Amino acid sequence: MTDLDAGGKGFSFEVRPAWTRGALEDHEAKPSEKTGKLEVRASKSGSDVVVHGTLDAELVVPCARCLEPFALPLHADLSVLYVPAAAMRGTGEDEDYEFSPEEADTLPYDGDTVALDDLVRDELLLEVPMIPLCSESCHGISPPPEAVPAEEGEKPVDPRLAPLLRFGAKKPQS
């Protein structure tokens, strides 16, 4: 950070699948085989560091309809202010520190190094849609071959409800 000034400096980093795999270890999203790219410009303003840039990556996520994995390209514009950790926490005695709305795009750093790992992980997770679809025309889960065929004139049974047909087939005992 000592080589930064108000004019700033550009950086370009590869976001490798191995790093992404570790960063998303507890998430259903997995890295694809493609290497992502993080391009940022960092500048110093007093003891604060301003970071602007873009993140491009690709994850493999399950489709919410058919459950098949598919490649999801992601693009995120980044803008964050890094402040010294001691300045952000005030006196450092309050461990239950609550961020104010003005601090939403503010992250702490310690020493002379600004680590972007947490920022990249958070942005990857925020870019994954809540209901990822492989395509808008995805029909969902295909019926298994052993599914009971519908009789003529009846509507086909949704394959997800096929196990419930067994309940209707049983006759009550007298």
DSSP for 114-163? ---HHHHHHHHHHHS-SS--S-TT---SPPPTTSPPPPTTSPPPPGGGGG
The length of the chain, given as a count of residues: 174
Pick 58 or 98 by higher pLDDT: 58
Q: What pLDDT sits at residue 119?
A: 93
Q: What is the mean pLDDT of residues 58-69?
A: 94
pLDDT band at 95 (very low <50, low <70, confident <90, very high): low
Q: What digits encode the pLDDT tens for the residues 101-149?
A: 766 778 888 888 889 999 999 999 999 999 999 999 988 877 665 555 5
For the stretch 9-54, pLDDT in tens is 899 999 999 999 999 998 999 999 999 999 999 999 888 999 999 9
Query: Would you state the pLDDT for residue 148?
Result: 53
